[in-house]
Amino acid sequence: MISVSNGLFHLRTEHTSYLMRTTDTGHLVHLSYGAAIHDTTGWELLEEKGAVLSTVPYWDEEHEHLYPGNMLQEYPTPDRGDARPPAIAVEYGSGSLTLDLKVIGSRVMKGKDLSFPAHALPYDSTETLEIELSDRLLPIMVTLRYTVYPECDVILRSARIANGTGNPVIIREAASLSLDIPSDGWKLHSFDGAWARERHENVRPLLPGTVVIDSRLGCSGNEHNPLIYLENERGEVYGFNLIYSGNHRETVSVSPFGRTRVTQGINPFLFSWKLMPGESFETPEAIMTYSGDGIESAAQSFHSFIRTSIVRGFWKDRERPVLINNWEATYFDFTEERLLELADEAAALGIELFVLDDGWFGHRRDDRRGLGDWWPQPERLPDGLEGLSEKIRSRGLLFGIWVEPEMISIDSDLYRQHPDWVIAQPGRDPLPCRHQFVLDLSRTEVREYLFRCLSEVFEKGSVSYVKWDMNRTITDTFSSDSSVRLQGEVQHRYILGLYDLMGRLAEAFPGILFEGCASGGNRYDLGMLCFMPQIWTSDNTDVHDRVGIEEGTLRGYPQSTMGAHVSASPGHQSMRVSRIDSRFAVAAFGVLGYELDLTKLDDEDKEAIKRQICFYKKYRKILQQGRFSSLHVSRNQRFWYSSLGSTAIAVEIQTLNEVHTGRCDRLVYPDAYESKRYRVTAVRESIPGLGMSEEFSVCASGTILRKYGIALAPQFTGNGVSAETRVLGDFGSRMYIIEEEKDEGACIR
């Protein structure tokens, strides 16, 4: 709900209110963002009071105690008294950046703008407020957009910058969002890492000064995800994320006067955009949420927003198939015969989708060659993609394929033909990475080539699933495309080109399930999720490491977006030994796959996998689409829950083995209703040397479950476990089904 009266703008979601006003100087200032206000009477009390600050400029002689440098600004501009990070920087004339934006109008509309290619979709209840601002001296106009998603407590922000002057101007910075919070003392949560250890949550106290979370990799990156939260001691939380897959930047500044400012948008690093007279520029959209109830509740708002307004198309709400991927089973060493053996085992275990990973095309025998040459190798696939796909499908499996369209190998026919198609500066050798360069996706002919090749692959292979990989970052930024006016435009134009290509393919192949990937999770963001319903979380599938990676990922993105595989033991990244049930327990909280050589497993493991897949299929909707929460019992022990309707699946995770502690955890279920009763059933698991663990099924009141918890048997202690397992350490995990008990009699002994 949006209301505008007497210069007061009020954006309402179910549980939050966002208030702004126009000052009598014409500036747009922020009043508050917090718990829902049903009656705004007395909103004037929220207004900034004048103060006396030395050395700080004030608005004008009539407002000598109102300082732009200390006020809550909606879209702060440079060089007009506010020395905190600005939201915008537009260079005009002979290099001026000074800008003073004042409100010139506003309007409220149903729905929302859809002009940026990666955009959120509106609900029925979605409304947008547009506020027009302009500089008085020269007509540089900014339209601020606020779209309200009442049901999930999310507000979307973006800006359009228009050049109404008679000369070109250069946009140096254009934030999607800027939020001033009238207090300090916040903690910043960011999600950081690198290859194979993506999105680990880091928390730091914010002190005066500016903290920058960003990516300069040409993609949203595995180093710092665009997701951030601010949290204070009262459990108040602000969450932010950006619907964009390129370089992003989040700044969080604490001012000397106790204010906190957050800005988020395209990273100004390597960015500049020339705007000709009459042209305008759209920023990507950013999302924000507020909760008075901790990060988990803010994360749940983001989850429901992403499920309903970011992910789209045929697979949006559909349960995702269980897959087998041949990468860690064979790497580049495969023949069609080997693939079919794997497919036979997969079909027998209940797997639904076979994914052929890297190595099927061009001359690609290893990672040194072949990218760009998107035709099948006759030595490996004698009957082409059609033949292999048919053989896979005749075994009752869907067929899926891996591609890495944005890249070109140095040793490829495509590079020999079109060396000018890569992103590279004239006269300077571009840096190789995995023996490959980046194709210039800002060029129409490059996108046309890829669209043609990929369409043929998808059609010939009757493909149901595509894993879209991207295994390097962008360097040596330069495009020879004639539409590029400044080289600072190239990385943004690359992302726009990528969205164009993915959008066209998604439209041409609406039934295909696309999974984004970038050396694991190097591009896990909301922009990709507008085109691809799921993303490969990380190449690291080690049970211990995955707990941190998945927990960090789930802080901002729902389970249905998170590709999660059971792979071999010892794990190929960590060399850690773990039980197959532990690996499953962690993978089950995402979109499940298997990525190991099934033909080498013993019968015990095969039986375990069969059982896991049956269990997963039965509870897949809950595991993929349920409400996720986690409860940390101790540093080493935690529960994860995914609940939908009256059922929850829980897993008890002990990340490090503690020998002979005899410690019992208690299964506490924080979502239990005290007035209800629940049946808790432990899922059978196999422990090498110990056989099957004890199964139980108990009935418990909501109060017992929520307030006390059920005492569980200690995790395995090492007795009877092989020496190898004990030396390397293992991971204990057990799964539970918690169902509301509707049959009164069932609980009476």
Non-local CB neighbours of 335 within 8 Å, separated by 6+ positions: 380
Of 594, 547, 536, 533, which is closest to residue 569 (Cα–Cα)? 594
Q: Is 650 helix (H, G, I), strand (E, B) or coil?
A: strand
With respect to ligand DGJ, which residue has the nearer C-beta, 519 or 657? 519
Catalytic status, residue 539: yes
State in angstroms the smallest separation of the CB of 591 from ligand DGJ: 14
State in angstroms the smallest separation of the CB of 364 from ligand DGJ: 9
The span from the CA of 731 to the CA of 511, in Å, is 38
Q: From residue 708, how far is each of 575, 711, 749 by CA, in Å?
A: 38, 9, 21
Q: Which of 153, 357, 469, 605 is catalytic?
A: 469
Our finding on whether 374 is near ligand DGJ (CB under 6 A) is: no
Our finding on whether 360 is near ligand DGJ (CB under 6 A) is: no
**Which residues, 485 to 504, sit near ligand DGJ by CB under 6 A?**
none
Which member of 153, 489, 539, 545 binds ligand DGJ (CB under 6 A)? 539
Our finding on whether 517 is near ligand DGJ (CB under 6 A) is: yes
Binding mask 383-402 for ligand DGJ (x = CB under 6 A): -------------------x
Which member of 82, 236, 373, 469 binds ligand DGJ (CB under 6 A)? 469
Task: Please give the backbone phi and psi of residue 622, each rounded to the nearest 5 degrees, phi first.
Answer: -65, -45
Which member of 519, 629, 637, 715 binds ligand DGJ (CB under 6 A)? 519
With respect to ligand DGJ, which residue has the nearer C-beta, 539 or 545? 539
Tokens of 193: 């890492």
**Cα 161 vs. chain centroid, distance in angstroms?**
27
Binding mask 316-355 for ligand DGJ (x = CB under 6 A): -----------x----------------------------
Q: Which of 214, 373, 539, 542 is catalytic?
A: 539
With respect to ligand DGJ, which residue has the nearer C-beta, 85 or 221? 221
Q: How many chain residues bind ligand DGJ (CB under 6 A)? A: 11
Choose the stretch contacting ligand DGJ; rule: CB under 6 A; options: 345-353, 488-496, 514-522, 541-549.
514-522
**Which residues, 259 to 318, sit near ligand DGJ by CB under 6 A?**
none
Closest residue (Cβ) to ligand DGJ? 358
Detail the DSSP E strand segments found in 118-193. 127-135, 140-149, 154-163, 169-181, 187-192
Which member of 520, 558, 563, 732 binds ligand DGJ (CB under 6 A)? 520
Task: Give the strand order in the sheet containing 2-5.
Answer: 2-5, 8-12, 16-22, 28-35
Catalytic status, residue 500: no
Our finding on whether 693 is near ligand DGJ (CB under 6 A) is: no
With respect to ligand DGJ, which residue has the nearer C-beta, 101 or 324? 324
Q: From residue 448, how far is each of 48, 280, 283, 404, 462 by CA, in Å?
A: 55, 26, 25, 15, 21
Our finding on whether 571 is near ligand DGJ (CB under 6 A) is: no
Which member of 180, 357, 440, 525 binds ligand DGJ (CB under 6 A)? 357
Choose the stretch contacting ligand DGJ; rule: CB under 6 A; options: 2-10, 244-252, 456-464, 512-520.
512-520
Of 63, 3, 8, which is closest to residue 30 (Cα–Cα)? 8
Of 182, 184, 183, 176, which is closest to residue 160 (Cα–Cα)? 176
Report yes or no: 702 and 646 within 8 Å, Cβ to Cβ: no
Which member of 421, 536, 616, 619 binds ligand DGJ (CB under 6 A)? 536
> How many residues comprise the chain?
749
Our finding on whether 567 is near ligand DGJ (CB under 6 A) is: no
With respect to ligand DGJ, which residue has the nearer C-beta, 181 or 518? 518
Report yes or no: 296 and 630 within 8 Å, Cβ to Cβ: yes
- Pairing state between β 187-192 and 2-5: unpaired
Our finding on whether 464 is near ligand DGJ (CB under 6 A) is: no
DSSP string, 709-742: -EE-PPPP-STT--HHHHHH---EEEEEEEEE--
Our finding on whether 465 is near ligand DGJ (CB under 6 A) is: no
Choose the stretch contacting ligand DGJ; rule: CB under 6 A; options: 109-117, 164-172, 333-341, 513-521.
513-521
Tokens of 689: 């040397």
The span from the CA of 749 to the CA of 738, in Å, is 19
Non-local CB neighbours of 57 within 8 Å, separated by 6+ positions: 67, 68, 69, 80, 81
Residue with tokens 């915008």: 88
Where does this chain bind ligand DGJ (CB under 6 A)? Answer: 327, 357-358, 402, 469, 471, 517, 519-520, 536, 539
Q: Which residues are catalytic?
A: 469, 539
